[in-house]
A and B are shown apart, each in its own frame.
Chain A
Amino acid sequence: MADAALGSGWVVGGTWLRRRSVLAGLAIVTLFLVLALATPLLTSQDPTAIDAVRRLEGPSIEHPLGTDHLGRDLLSRLLYGSRWSLGTVAIATALIMSIGVAIGLLAGYFGGIVDEILMRVVDVLLALPSLLLALAIAGTLGPGIRNVMLALVSVWWATYARVVRGLVLALRERRFVEAARSLGARDRHIIVRHILRNVVPPVVVLATVEMGELILAIAGLDFLGLGAQPPTPEWGAMLNDGRPFLFTAPQLMIYPGLAISLLVIGFNLLGDGLRDALDPRDRARKE
């Protein structure tokens, strides 16, 4: 059974939960998740409603964080922005994982020419700076959040494919896989029932670690005007909109900047904790 437990330590005993940083990360991510889900309950303001008369106002009961350069409520834009940020990163991560895992499984399990071709593609992608490549693709495809996600997905999957391939190469030689094969199980059955289930946990950890980077990438491309288009309340775009007011109304940059930083820190803490908990050397030391 030890073979089958290659990636299952992440849930054993819940020791990682005791790590304060993981708890902090989990709390931050959960907070943003709750805020995103409960946004319509938390604010009645339309995040896109312009009121030129009330531009750049300070905090008030009606606008707890004040208004932006077009008189729009900052709090509602931040809250709706959390939906955009978490939504886009969730969709992008799901797509990246799907593609990366599928390609990693195929390359690792079948090997040979399939492995050669797929891994050379991965090598090419990993040899180039991910964000710059995504920037180039998004710039070519044209502005829009869909194109930004497409650009990121088309670049980011390579890391997952490489990691999954490595895991599969180790798994396919294990006794439980050989046993399944000797019992006449088909490749698809072995991949889905025996290999995939052992690959998923580390991939989830990888995704958690990478989410922070992905959020930054999405916010960065939005900042550059390639992602969400006006008047969408997206944090990266809000940062860019606030630049002319750096000295007169710094809150226009501070609030979305803080939101991005906090969420990224949350995912990083959570991911680091999960990775540490899964690290066999670390576990061995503790045992």
Chain B
Amino acid sequence: MRHGTTGMRIGHTSPRLLVRYLALALLAACGGRRDRGEDSATLRIAAPGDGYNTGPGSDVGIYAVNANVFETLVRLTSDYRVEPMLATRWEFRPPNSWRFHLRQGVRMHDGSAFDARAVEWTVRRIAKTDPRVLGVGDSSARVIDDSTVDITPTRPNRRLPEQLVHPNWSIVALGSDPAINAVGTGPFKLGEYVKGDHITVERFTDYWGAKAKLDRLIFRFVPDANTRALALRSGEARVAYDVPRADARELERTPGLTVTQSPVGSYEALYVNIHGRPPYDRGGDSSIRRAIAYGIDKRAIVESVWRGTAEPGQTLMPASMLGESASLVFGTEFDPGRSKGLLDDAGWRVGADGVRVKQGRRLSLTLVAGFPNAEIHKPMPEIVQAQLRVVGIEIRIVQVADAASYQARIRTGEGDLWAEAGGQNDANPCFLPDLLFYGGGPSIQRSAYARLFGPGPHFDLAIDTCRSALDLENVRKAAAAAMHILTDQDLVVIPLAGTRRVWGLSDRIAGFAPHPSSLNQRWETVWIR
């Protein structure tokens, strides 16, 4: 679930991709842009890798490429507010229920009417396969009437409407399963899904809202970001998800192409293993953590790595989500002198090769890069390595191929620093700190992340407050308090940048509004000139 909600597999390299990459490179280099027999009603999109789950809890058409086949009760605006979707209004009903009033006159793709029973069915599906985030059980949904449903989590959860914007909680038709018979309410209905290759969706003419402008969308799965950019250059695609940041400026200069960026909605950060066992136990020393935080020049990294597609960040969630409470999170500024002083005071002396030593032990740390894959972080780890070398910290970089390898390593705890790129995909300000670092609660087993990074009860208390607060300002304060613990007080997290999604487009594409959470990207407004 953790990775099902915070990021996407981008840029994973494999031999098959290499062949595809070389073929597209040749095509782009020799032939220039060509429109591959495309009519103006069909849009070909170079999308990230096929991450669809076709087993229990299937999410074909939903995650990680939201093909707009399914919809949620409420949706996420680009400034992270919640607005009506399949539910027109909702209210909290003490002690722990939420009542949703459903939109009427909505048709499912099979022609049936959307009603409360579809919501009940969906909540049961979630309870069976992924109950942790929402905290729902088999009987959490109760149909009041055709257009009214109550959802009562099994634990106090005041964040439910903010969480329900996530496409993972999309409503599926009663008795249906996205992997077998994908029946939703979205502006597009499923045409064809070929695993690992593409998913095609077609306009749903009975859609309840503004009808899609295009007849057909073809999302071709291209896991490697460079290959997606090549597909755009060669004309194989007219839209490309997450093109390489290093290539964005050059793409923009290419005739017939343009690059567009979303508002900040993602982040790049280092997590410090504070509970590691030797030899990965040095993150437990707060003076080392502080020295690392002060030794990294975030601004230089942003300028040299992300070049106009990111900004230095002090939080995991977009700072705007915290409102005025954002000022409670200070962050750390680059100060190599202070970094060196902290290490000197802690007894780490500079050795002959410039790396500090204490009681015969070198200050050498392993940086694991990272989630969702190593490619997406490049070349940040090398710059961090060079910057920390200046203060006497040696960094050994270990690149892991994909999210699965990264998760395996998280479980074994073999690393001191962990590079992650994730995204805020719902409207709950506590979503990321809660999901990643919360270690408390009687019914929740401590996650592998909490075992490495969890600050402990004082942090869990802030999350508990966040979970139970009804008033938005109190939620923001609690989320800011949690971030303050993570980034200022305990320095478990070193945020490096808030990043934007970078899309490559043909200049014939119109009506495209990039969402900071690409999982919430809408396609019905897009058309081809």
Contacts and interface: CB of A to CB of B under 8 A. Distances in A.
Contacts of A229: 396-399
Interface string A137-169: 001001110000000000000000000000000
A245 to B, nearest CB: 7
B308 to A, nearest CB: 14
Nearest to B248: A244
A26 B378 CA distance: 38
Nearest to A70: B379
A52 B21 contact: no
Nearest to B230: A246
Interface string A43-86: 00000111010010000000000000110000000000000000
Counting from the closest, the 7 A-B pairs by CB-CB distance are A52-B304, A244-B246, A244-B244, A50-B386, A225-B399, A243-B226, A248-B250
Given A139-B405, A241-B378, 6 more contacts: A142-B400, A143-B400, A223-B18, A230-B399, A244-B229, A246-B230
Contacts of B410: none
A247 B250 contact: yes
Contacts of A143: 398-401
How many interface residues does chain A have, given as a range?
A: 20 to 34
Given A55-B304, A241-B378, A246 B226 contact: yes
B77 interface: no
A122 interface: no
Most buried by B among A49, A229, A230: A230
Interface in A11-50: 48-50
A231 B384 CA distance: 11
A224 B21 CA distance: 13
Given A55-B304, A224-B13, A248 B247 contact: yes
Nearest to A243: B226
Interface in B183-235: 225-226, 229-230, 233
Given A223-B13, A244-B247, A231 B226 contact: no
Contacts of A135: 15
A52 to B, nearest CB: 4
Nearest to B409: A142
A52 B383 contact: yes
A132 B25 CA distance: 24
Interface string A228-267: 0111000000001101111110000000000000000000
Nearest to B369: A230
Contacts of A248: 247, 250
Contacts of B378: 241
Contact of B379 (A226, A241, A247): A241
Given A50-B383, A224-B13, A224-B14, A244 B401 contact: no
Contacts of B28: 247
How many interface residues does chain B have, given as a range?
A: 35 or more
B402 to A, nearest CB: 9
B401 to A, nearest CB: 6
Contacts of A241: 378-379
B401 A226 contact: yes
A51 to B, nearest CB: 10
Contacts of B18: 223
A241 B246 CA distance: 11
Given A225-B374, A229-B398, A230-B397, A243 B21 contact: yes
Contacts of A49: 386
A3 to B, nearest CB: 46
Interface string B367-380: 00000001100110
A69 B245 CA distance: 12
A152 B405 CA distance: 20
Contacts of B304: 52, 55, 70
B173 to A, nearest CB: 40
Nearest to B375: A225
Nearest to A56: B246
Contacts of B144: none
A247 B382 contact: no
B32 to A, nearest CB: 12
A49 B389 CA distance: 11
Nearest to B25: A246
Given A50-B386, A230-B379, A240-B13, A245 B398 contact: no
Given A135-B15, A230-B382, A247 B247 contact: yes
Contacts of B25: 246
B58 interface: no
B30 to A, nearest CB: 13
26 contacts: A52-B300, A52-B383, A55-B304, A69-B379, A70-B379, A139-B405, A142-B400, A142-B409, A143-B400, A143-B401, A220-B15, A223-B13, A225-B375, A225-B401, A229-B396, A229-B397, A230-B397, A230-B399, A244-B225, A244-B226, A244-B229, A245-B247, A246-B226, A246-B230, A247-B29, A248-B250
Interface string B1-37: 0000000000001110010010001001100000000
Contacts of A55: 304
B312 to A, nearest CB: 15
